Structure 1
Amino acid sequence: MAELNSSPQKASGTRGRKKMNVRVDLTAMVDLAFLLITFFMLTTTLSKSKAMDIAMPVGEGSAVPASRSFTVCLGKNSQVMWYLGELKNPVIAPTVTNFNKDGIRKALFETSKMVHDNTGKGMIVVVKPSDHSVYKDLVNVIDELNITDMQTYAIVDIDRHDTDALKQKDVY
């Protein structure tokens, strides 16, 4: 608390004047400051984690019907090659696109609607990153899958046939 000592003292060299000693106790102010600092440290969130949940299958995978299999191969310079079905006999031929609004998102929406209309089931997306793709492209594809509400997708290693197709399209 603030404390005022009022014991009168005569100042030297002055007649009749009294000097007052003033002393302010700041203990309560320091206590309050530390309580506020502690409160804000405990209640402040510095940064929230931005992680995506990916459920990976355990063991051997099952066969995927070609009519519902949408394959996305990641190439260099943020280029994406996609096709529906098997690469040897595709339902939709391999197409090269990118990550803009008319790119992979449009292909996912349109192909998913076509697969659902033809089979009555959802599309299965297989993502195959190549050796020349970057991690950012994989994250972008997963973002696009979440935006387009694709429920079933897998991230697998790219095989030689897909690598050859990327080389033919000059994306590898």
Structure 2
Amino acid sequence: MAEINTGGSDRGHKRGTRSRKLSTRVDMTPMVDLGFLLITFFMLTTALAKPQTMDLNMPADAEPPQSVGDSKSLTILLGANNSVSYYEGIGNDPLHPPVVQHSSFANNQGIRDVIINKRERVIQQHKKNDLMVLIKADKSANYKNVVDIMDEMLINHVERYAMVDITPEDEAYLK
């Protein structure tokens, strides 16, 4: 609240003297209280950023493993130094080893174009989006590359993909 200091009683002073200017003093205590109340109110009513998680679907224990045809699958290998390699199919036939090709995370002529082309071929051949992408990361692969390839799955609308343990044969393809 504002106050005016009036000083002592001035009844016995001389005539003709100047009037004294009175000083004002503003008490800031209520303003500080109001500030803290507003800060508390906004802290309690503001919705904090909720953590975003990705859904992870695990197969049931009683469910038999599904077989995927080579014409519907694409295997992506992640290695050291941001290297990305891929081959079509699963690559489990020792009589017909896969043809491994190298790519990058570039926007043009990169792994995105490979996924788009494979997805279009699967849709043309089977009349529906049955593309299955197997992602195999080497021990020396960056975590950033794993996140980037999973982002590519989301961007390219690949509904079925799996993180699979890398085999010794696949590790040899990366070298």
State the TM bucket, normalised to the shorter chain.
0.7 to 0.9
Q: CA deviation at 1:6?
A: 3.5
Tell me, which stretches of 5 or more residues in structure 1 are unaligned? Answer: 168-172
Aligned residue number for residue 171 of structure 2: 163
RMSD after superposition: 2.7
2:105 alignment partner in structure 1: 99
- Other-structure match for 1:112: 119
Percent of matched pairs sharing the same residue = 39
In the TM superposition, what whole-angstrom CA distance separates every residue of 1:114-171 from its partner, at most 9, and x where no partner exists?
011112232001101012211111001001111101001110110112112222xxxx
Counterpart selection for 2:77 from 73, 77, 89? 73
In the comparison of the two structures, how many residue pairs are matched?
A: 163
Q: Which has the higher strand share?
A: 1
- Provide the secondary structure at the position in 1 that maps to 2:100: strand
Matched, 1:151 2:164: no
**1:170 match:** none
1:55-97 Cα offsets, whole Å, 9 max, x none, are 333436322222211111111111111111132437x732110
Deviation at 1:113, TM superposition (A): 0.3
Of 29, 32, 52, the residue aligned with 2:31 is 29
Aligned-partner Cα distance in 1 for 2:110–2:20: 88
In the alignment, structure 1 residue 82 sits paired with structure 2 residue 86: yes
**SS at 1:93 equivalent:** coil
1:4 partnered with 2:4: yes
Question: Residue 133 of structure 2: SS of its match in structure 1?
Answer: strand
Quote the offset at 1:47 in angstroms.
Answer: 5.3
Alpha-carbon offset, residue 9 of structure 1: 4.3
Higher deviation after alignment, 60-69 or 98-107: 60-69
- CA-to-partner distance for each residue in 1:10-64, whole Å, 9 max, x for gaps? 5xxx865557464432232112211232234345567564543333334363222
Residue 134 of structure 1 corresponds to 142
Query: Does the 8 Å CA contact 1:82/1:95 hold for their aligned counterparts?
Result: yes
What letter matches 1:139 in structure 2?
V
In structure 1, C-alpha distance between the alignment counterparts of 2:9 and 2:159, rounded to whole Å: 86
Give the corresponding residue for 1:41: 43
Calculate the TM-score normalised by the size of structure 1.
0.79
Q: Which runs of 5+ in 2 are unaligned?
A: none
